[in-house]
Amino acid sequence: MKNFTRVFSNTKVFIYGVSTGLIFLFLFAFSHSAKAESVIAGAVFGSGSPVSGATVTLYSASESAPVMVGQSITNDEGKFEISNFNNTGEGVFYLIAKNGKITGAIDQSSENSLTLMSLLGSQPPSNIIINELTTVASAFTAARFINGESVSGNLLGLKIAAGNTPNLVDPVTGKWGKVLLDPLNSTQNTTLVNLNTLGNLISAYGTVSDANWRSRFLKASAPAGGTEPGNTLEAIAGIALSSYSDPGTLYTLFDEAYPQPKDGARREAPFLPYLAYSPDDFALMLVYAGGGLFSPGKLVFDAEGNLWSGCNWMPGSQSGVVKNIGGGTVKFAPNGEALSPHITGYTGMGIDGVGWGTAVTKDKVWVTSFNGSIGIMDFNGKQIGTEADFPMAGKMGGLMGIGVAKNGDVWIADGTKNQLIMFPGGNVKNGKIVNVDGLRSPFGIAIDSQDRVWVSNTQSNTVVRFPVNDPTKVETFNVGISARGVALDSKGNLWVASNFDLDFPMAELPAGISIMRQFQLGGENMMKHVSDENPTGMVNMIRPDGTQPMPSGFKGGKIINMPWGVSIDGNDDVWVGNFFGKGVVLMSGVGTEGHSPGVNAGDVIHEFQCGSIQMLTDVAVDPAGNIWAANNWNNPNAVLGNDPPRPITTYGGGSGLVVIYGAAAPVKTPLMGAVEKQ
């Protein structure tokens, strides 16, 4: 086991590169007679060295308290075996290893609070490595379900968490997962170094630290508004819940444990590469692509946690607002796997480019197109019906947002003809055009629990509201200019993102022009007046009674910059796609649970940014509490140019969906009406 040994008394450093073949070799030798369906054989490592005498417990997690299904003690080589357990149930398995001793550790007094974890899923592999990296990956993906050593919560969310853990770290090898190793991630964002640095902090806790260091580490790991953790697993889970709380102190602790040599050479940290600079947060983010994804607009989830989005343009095309080839509809599994056809996505029913119009009901997926078409498909992407089925065929303009009511009513915004289209219960044949006063290029739609329809206007500074059964009773509310995404929290408050401040010099947009022409004129004007130093836009909250706590809007200092999409999580916190700011903004909602004292509704808590995040439209929350963000634009010069430089002509649309793990409170899907806590 020499390859796994790190010598702490000299300068020898364990580099995390032990071959997968060696790991499988010793596991096979240890478990050659095991049956995969009822035996788990593995080993526990800390800082690359065996952890002996550790209690390893296998649990099955579900909505109720977790059930212990097996237990073992590691030997001097860190090996363990758990046998004769039933793995045919619905639960999600996970392993906890604690109270062990790391070979060569300076101070063994940390053993009682050194706790490691591996989240395995419903069908666990028979060979397992438990180490610092599996602990970090598991704690982040399951952050919303961890309470001490207990893991429980909605079963769909647990399965989503377990399905995403291997994307970060492979539970069989204890090494980096395939998605993290993809150059889309390993070289384009800081997730690899964040993961490794957190792993190094756990290593330091169990090997080179003293009691004072460990105390400061646990204190700095406490989540915002939460209590101080008692062990390393709770600490990493606390960091995952609010990775922005105290990153500076955590980095200082890393620096103390593994000092930077004066000549700038690498530190003696076990996991490389690590952070070279103090981070803004320790968030773990991965980007996913494929399946026809390019310039996605609205993001929605079905009842199984699959993500759906219509795309502005086709991947690989030299598309922008001047010339373009429309995109199709994409579907991604909860673990980020692209399920829709490459390049085209799902097509049919005349769809040629989708803007803000994607929605999911209990049994269908709806999309709208810039060209006035409506598409309906089943959850396998197969179209349902034809263009001729719609009673208003030929009478629709450039279509945008879709709102779905609790009862299944579907409402669609016509962004060029200033009208709405309504399908009672989602019934196509009974569909009708609804004329409403005050519509100015309508965009986003939400239907509240009082059967009132809320509609945002992109060519004004207003949101209108009217009863479903009487569209003549229109109420108008002032917000920012060019109102876009809307979302209802569990209390019935409407949150709306507006691109511009009220004093912003707007471009003249002739009535009835196409959506692409609107984007062209508005985009050219945006590039003249908007910058990081000169941000614009706001988020407004409108209460059910029509009043606003902040009529001038929430701007978060200079953080909010052309906000676009808005989503609410299970804690009623507000998540914003910050288009020009290139980030995901977390704002406190009406409930301030889980935030530091003094935080009020509308306060910006943090903005998540990374190299993989481009110009975002929408953000959405899944049943595991992960945030998904839509890269809609990449290079504005490619989007807006009449004759852009040839090397950038395929860089107009944004590439990829960015997932921030464990950052939000889980929600029920699909979203029909106001948000519901999962």
Q: d(Cα 499, Cα 110) in Å, to the nearest integer? A: 51
Q: pLDDT tens, 222-260?
A: 999 999 999 999 999 999 999 999 999 999 999 999 999
Q: Could you give phi then psi for residue 56, rounded to 5 degrees?
A: -110, 120
| Confidence band for 511, pLDDT divided at 50, 70 and 90 | confident
Whole-angstrom CA distances from 575 to 147, 444, 627 are 24, 16, 9
Q: State which of 160, 182, 204 marks the end of a domain.
A: 182
Spatial neighbors of 480 by CB under 8 A, at least 6 apart, are 461, 498, 499, 500, 501, 502, 537, 538, 540, 553
pLDDT at 35: 40
| Confidence band for 6, pLDDT divided at 50, 70 and 90 | very low
pLDDT at 496: 99
Query: 170 with 293, same domain?
Result: no
Whole-angstrom CA distances from 154 to 62, 87, 507, 594, 667 are 7, 19, 48, 20, 10
Written as one string, the DSSP assignment of 365-385 is EEEE-TTS-EEEE-TTS-B-S
Angle at 375 between CA 317 and CA 459, to 5 degrees: 75
Residue 469 has pLDDT above 90, yes or no: yes
Query: 297 with 415, same domain?
Result: yes
| Confidence band for 648, pLDDT divided at 50, 70 and 90 | very high
Q: H or E element: which one contains 186?
A: helix 183-186
The percent of residues in the chain predicted with pLDDT above 70, rounded, is: 94
Domain count, the chain: 2
Residue 1 has pLDDT above 50, yes or no: no
Residue 151 has pLDDT above 60, yes or no: yes
| Contact (CB, 8 A) for 458 and 441 | yes
More confident residue, 3 or 303: 303
- Residue 190 token pair: 């800081």
Residue 16 has pLDDT above 70, yes or no: no
Across 206-302, where does the E strand assignment appear?
Answer: 285-288, 300-301
Write a three-state SS string for 518-581.
HHHHHHHHHHHHCCCCCCCCEEEEECCCCCCCCCCCECCCCCCCCEEEEEECCCCCEEEEECCC
More confident residue, 434 or 106: 434
| Residue keyed to tokens 């237990």 | 71
Region 352-356 average pLDDT: 98
Task: Give the DSSP letter of residue 478.
Answer: E
Q: Would you tell me how many other CB atoms lie within 10 Å of the CB of residue 450?
A: 10
| Confidence band for 74, pLDDT divided at 50, 70 and 90 | very high
Helix (H, G, I), strand (E, B) or coil at 459: coil
Residue 137 belongs to a domain: yes
Residue 147 belongs to a domain: yes
Residue 618 belongs to a domain: yes
Q: H or E element: which one contains 404?
A: strand 399-404
Mean pLDDT for all residues in the chain: 94
Region 90-108 average pLDDT: 87
pLDDT at 106: 66
* Residue type for position 180: L
b/e map 523-550, b = 16+ CB within 10 Å: bebbeeebeeeebbbbbbbbeeeeebee
Whole-angstrom CA distances from 58 to 69, 77, 155, 667 are 6, 19, 18, 28
| Contact (CB, 8 A) for 346 and 306 | no
More confident residue, 417 or 9: 417
Residue 23 has pLDDT above 60, yes or no: no
Across 259-332, where does the E strand assignment appear?
Answer: 285-288, 300-301, 307-310, 329-332
| Contact (CB, 8 A) for 333 and 360 | no
Residue 375 has pLDDT above 80, yes or no: yes
Residue 278 belongs to a domain: no
| Confidence band for 37, pLDDT divided at 50, 70 and 90 | low
Angle at 310 between CA 609 and CA 400, to 5 degrees: 100
Query: 161 with 300, same domain?
Result: no
Query: 379 with 503, same domain?
Result: yes
| Confidence band for 33, pLDDT divided at 50, 70 and 90 | very low
* Residue type for position 434: V
Nearest to 448 by CA among 435, 466, 460, 431: 466
Residue 279 has pLDDT above 90, yes or no: yes
Q: d(Cα 597, Cα 576) in Å, to the nearest integer? A: 22
| Confidence band for 110, pLDDT divided at 50, 70 and 90 | low
pLDDT at 107: 65
Edge to edge, what strands does the sheet with 452-457 contain? 442-447, 452-457, 462-467, 475-478
Residue 187 belongs to a domain: no
Residue 4 has pLDDT above 70, yes or no: no
| Domain containing residue 115 | 2-182
| Contact (CB, 8 A) for 554 and 540 | yes
The percent of residues in the chain predicted with pLDDT above 90, rounded, is: 90
Q: pLDDT tens, 158-191?
A: 999 999 999 999 999 999 999 999 999 999 999 9
**Phi-psi map region of 47: left, alpha, beta (phi>0 left; psi -120 to 50 alpha):** left
Query: 165 with 294, same domain?
Result: no
Residue 321 has pLDDT above 50, yes or no: yes
Query: 31 with 152, same domain?
Result: yes
Query: 292 with 411, same domain?
Result: yes
Residue 316 belongs to a domain: yes
* Residue type for position 409: D
Query: 161 with 290, same domain?
Result: no
Edge to edge, what strands does the sheet with 481-488 contain? 481-488, 494-500, 538-542
Query: 157 with 298, same domain?
Result: no
Q: What is the CATH number of the domain that holds 328?
A: 2.120.10.30
Residue 310 belongs to a domain: yes
- Residue 372 token pair: 């006035």
Q: What is the CATH number of the domain that holds 84?
A: 2.60.40.10
Distance of CA 524 to the CA centre of its chain: 30
Q: d(Cα 676, Cα 358) in Å, to the nearest integer? A: 19
Residue 121 belongs to a domain: yes
pLDDT at 342: 98
